[in-house]
Amino acid sequence: MTGDPDSPFGTPVVQAMAEAYDADREYRAARDRLTLAEGIAREVIRLRMSLNLSQAALAKLVGTPPSVISRLERGDHEPSTATLRKIAHATGTRPVFSFAGPLRRGPRGAPRVTAAGPPEAGGIVRSRSSARHPAAVG
């Protein structure tokens, strides 16, 4: 990976991700596969934090071990709709699923990464009570 030889910080993360995306088919497949799970993780974290709950407290409300919430929030696991329904029921919300436009690509075909994180592939689950054209999961 290349970077500015005069920079004390090395290769910028976005550049390193783009280079890895281009160079490694397995990395590319893993990034594409996990993008949806990461979007769900961000929404669960946002919901939990808006309710001022720890992972353990949310797990207790949902009736699941804290490890399940932890794994879900890491973004390396796509939860079932049943799990999302349990979280929604326990928090007085409802999961909403919608499809977005085509996956936007950054330089050299890598998913565009912004300050908010990578874009969702195929949709995002939001635990809010309203959205423009969503289909309720629960």
Domain extents for the chain? 13-136
Q: Using a CB cutoff of 8 Å and minimum separation of 24, what contacts does 106-111 make? A: 106/14, 106/18, 107/18, 108/18, 108/21, 108/22, 109/21, 109/22, 110/17, 110/18, 110/21, 110/22, 111/21, 111/31, 111/32, 111/35
Tens-digit pLDDT profile for the chain (138 aa)?
455 555 656 778 778 878 877 888 888 887 777 788 888 999 999 999 999 999 999 999 999 999 999 999 998 888 899 999 999 999 999 888 877 776 666 656 555 554 444 444 444 444 444 344 444 454
- What's the CATH code, domain 13-136? 1.10.260.40
